[in-house]
Amino acid sequence: MADTKPIAFANGGARSAPAETGQGVAASDGTASGGPPRRLQISILRYNPQEPGSTPRMQAYDLEEADGMTLFIALTELREKQDPSLHFDFVCRAGICGSCAMVINGRPGLACRTLTKKLDRTITLAPLPVFELIADLSVNTGKWMRAMSERLETWVHLKEEEIDLSRMEARMEPELAQKIYELDRCIECGCCIAGCGTVRMRENFVGAAGLNKIARFRLDPRDRRTDEDYFEFIGDDDGVFGCMSLLGCHDVCPKDLPLATQIAFLRRKMVAIGWK
């Protein structure tokens, strides 16, 4: 383990840099076929707000790269063999749960889906901004997502008052079901929120994750709500009109959701309601 050094860090110390730079491409002198493995230097922003005396600092680790190594594998090896105090989150290791989202070389992404061979030898990791910091690379995305979901009421508001469990579920055209499924693939990893410029300026902005949920339930024929109802949720600067169309959310979404298309579509629909 290499040495650590304190760094000056504004705004509470737990915020990472905006997603302005790419994750980087492995240098041309990387591991050649049959050649020796690369030595990686992974620099991690360390800070535990619950630990008295803890201050934000960058800590560098040296690690030998293995075939097929992902950042998740690299972090696991660091925690098991070098520093058991290192905090980061994981559950599925398959890009489904979204727990391992972090800022990788200045760009939000999933550690379990990022191969180290596609990065330079020197890798910088930081926690996602905006969300409450737990420690090191671990943030509480669930708290933010739950508050957003409760605020937007992101559940099906059934047209029937009474639920008949014995009745067969209403049929849905496959084409419509596929459109709903496409938007339902959001894993709430928080990458779109971390890459959003508006969220940094508007604390109550619902972000692409919230707007995507509205787009999903708007398509659902079982939901009784109308565009007038949705306007009450997102028809202001904390909703769809607050988006500056920088489209950082669209660029960093690990599931390649059509966020830009859905935000533009919702904006047109909400404008039509606002002009009535």
Residue 145 maps to a domain: no
C-beta neighbour count of 23 within 10 angstroms = 20
Token pair of 242 as six digits: 């607050």
Assigned domain for 196 exists: yes
Pairing of strands 39-46, 122-126: parallel
3-state secondary structure (DSSP) of residue 99: coil
Reduced to 3 states, what is the DSSP secondary structure of residue 64? strand
Do 228 and 135 share a structural domain? no
The domain spanning residue 178 has which CATH number? 1.10.1060.10
Residues 134 and 182 in one domain: no
Residue 125 and residue 91 in one domain: yes
Lowest mean pLDDT among 107-121, 162-176, 228-242: 162-176
The answer to whether residues 15 and 133 belong to one domain is yes
At 236, is the secondary structure helix, strand, or coil? Answer: coil
Residue 109 within any structural domain of the chain: yes
- pLDDT value at position 11? 37
What one-letter code names the amino acid at 156?
V
- Looking at the fold, whether 31 and 93 belong to one and the same domain comes out as yes
Q: Report the distance separating Cα 52 and Cα 72, nearest Å.
A: 28
- How many other C-beta atoms can be found within 10 angstroms of the C-beta atom of residue 59? 17
Residue-range definition of the domain harbouring residue 255:
153-161+169-274
Q: What CATH number did the domain enclosing 99 receive?
A: 3.10.20.30
Whether 146 maps to a domain, the answer reads no
Is residue 148 in some structural domain?
no
Q: Are residues 204 and 266 in the same domain?
A: yes
Q: Looking at residues 146-156, what average pLDDT do you find?
A: 95
30 or 186, which is more confident: 186
3-state SS, residue 152: helix
What is the overall mean pLDDT for the chain? 88
Q: Is the pLDDT of residue 239 over 90?
A: yes
Q: How many domains does the chain have?
A: 2
8 shares its domain with 125? yes
> 201 and 83 in one domain?
no
